[in-house]
Amino acid sequence: MIEKAKLIADRILSNEKVHIVSHIDADGIASASIAYRALERAEKDVSVEFVKQLDGNEIKKIKGQEHPLVWFTDLGSGQMSSLKGMNCVITDHHEPENDSEPTEIKDRGNILSYCASIMELNPHNFGLDGAKEISGSGTTYLVAKQMDKENKDLSKLAVIGAVGDLQASEEGRLVGMNRDILDDGVEEGVIEIKKDTTLYGLESRPLHKVLEYASDPILPGLTGDESSCVNFLVENDITLKEDNDWRRWHDLTKDEKRKILSELARKILSKGFPPENVTCMIGEIYILPGEEPGTMLHQAKEFSTLLNSCGRYEKGMIGLKVCLDDRDEYLKKAEKLLKGHQKILVDCLNYVESIGVEERDFIQFFHGEDRIPDTVVGTVAGMVLSSGDVDKKLPILAFADSEERGGVKVSSRGTKRLVDNGLDLSSAMSECAEKVGGEGGGHDIAAGALIPEGKEEEFIDIVEQKIGSQLK
Ligand code: C5P
Ligand code: C5P
Ligand code: ZN
């Protein structure tokens, strides 16, 4: 993989002008930022654009712009045959397209020779798992590192991307190539690895809010109930305020943290939840020591949420500026977008609660219509699946109108256990979407599609059959 990264780096460096095309989520923004900074350091003329999905229309538009070289980051592998004729490189981690392609380019080797003007770095071509061993920003980083060893500091962005794509293992740690990238970050002094709780908001949220908003795992009697969270902390002798400021998790002493976690564990187990709900509360957290403690930028997980709040509202460039160290105007803009993002998520979750989730034998689903934006329906699907309110043994499908793209957006999410039992949402989405005249792809555990309006019922039926046949 490193040799291939070197070949791609050389190809990029032989061009003076490079156009980056990336995905709108945290991993996509982190990827574009790595590519941008590496190109800037190599004194190249750089431009960037973010796309929701690399569909036929987008590809046509990009081809029409006649860029001397396009660098696709965190996307491209699923659409390689459509990129034919374009001078481009791809650093991605999505499952590459397969036998759904035209017969003359059926196998991967043929696709590669058919698309001679394209160079691709993708873990799936090296027998690695693109859902957990390396992200789009990871593959982009491998190339950036080959462009110049000085780019090793960009490993921190690759860690933010991997964390944003939920690539941590069940033990709450990055593994595989992500681990090597993490080691680069530690060596460069841009990342610190700590063992702590995996609950969200350790830097930016008041302590009781960390408990109130906990969703993975659910904290029985606490999640969603602010006053119970306050009481719980007070009963455990935790001081909530210091000099009139709410204390945050990162302000606590080791003993205070230990006490809270052991009481939470006791609560979870006494309510009959499985021991995994306790173990998944502990894992590695990745700190960015160059950032100010107590801000969202100090921990990779929170940083990635900030990026998602930008990209999913067509403001990927704001996220990119924050990744590239803007700590004034653009950080403020990103923080404002975050507030909006959080409110939208709460509204969407309430909407799903009001309409309910329908169950079939092998899948469950809901339709967000025009009430859930197509850019966040995947996030909402993931939150609903881990909410404890639905059956975790069934993968979830979520639909949302996508007027702008003239169809219905589908997001699907599974669990590690389902994947171990044979679930592959990527092939389910790409094959079933194609059968109803749409297109899809992604990873085994999380994938998406765009299908024609009115085809939802038919799509649900064939996905149900397909997933039934996948599961052991
Ligand atoms: O396009 P990209 O590969 O960057 O996005 C991966 C998506 O898969 C993210 O939205 C991430 O949240 C989702 N995912 C998930 N559960 C996992 C792994 C990834 O929902 N265990
Ligand atoms: O859009 P959503 O978050 O549901 O996507 C889940 C995963 O599937 C992401 O990695 C996304 O890039 C991928 N995807 C894809 N092709 C599509 C839609 C989504 O590869 N048509
Ligand atoms: Zn990604």
| Residue-range domains of the chain with CATH | 2-195 (3.90.1640.30), 196-345 (no CATH), 356-471 (3.10.310.40)
Ligand 2: does its nearest atom lie under 6 Å from the Cβ of 74?
no
Number of helices (H) and strands (E), helices first, in the chain?
18, 15
The preferred substitution site among 166, 170, 445 for testing ligand 1, maximizing ligand atoms within 8 Å of CB, is: 166
E strand or H helix at 397: strand 396-402
Nearest CA to ligand 1 atom 12: 165
- Best of 280, 397, 443 to mutate for ligand 1, by most ligand atoms within 8 A of CB? 443
What's the 426 CA to ligand 2 centre distance in angstroms? 8
Write out the chain's pLDDT in tens, 472 residues.
Answer: 999 999 999 999 999 999 999 999 999 999 999 999 999 999 999 999 999 889 888 999 999 998 999 999 999 999 998 998 899 999 999 999 864 343 334 445 555 555 567 899 999 999 999 999 999 999 999 999 999 999 999 999 999 999 999 999 888 899 999 999 999 999 999 999 999 999 999 998 999 999 998 888 889 889 888 999 999 999 999 999 999 899 999 899 999 999 999 999 999 999 888 898 899 899 999 999 999 999 999 999 999 999 999 988 889 999 999 999 999 999 999 999 999 998 999 899 999 999 999 999 999 999 999 999 999 999 999 999 988 788 989 999 999 999 877 899 999 999 999 999 999 999 999 999 999 999 999 999 999 999 999 999 999 999 999 999 999 7
From residue 368, alpha-carbon distances to 401, 405, 432, 442, 452 in Å are 7, 16, 20, 21, 15
The distance from CA 419 to its chain's CA centroid, rounded to whole angstroms, is 17
For residue 443, give the nearest of 412, 421, 469, 472 by alpha carbon. Answer: 412
The separation between CA 434 and the C-alpha centre of its own chain, rounded to angstroms, equals 24
Q: Which atom of ligand 2 is nearest to the CA of 75?
A: 12
pTM (2 decimals)?
Answer: 0.92
CA–CA distance, 336 with 350 (Å, rounded to integer): 22
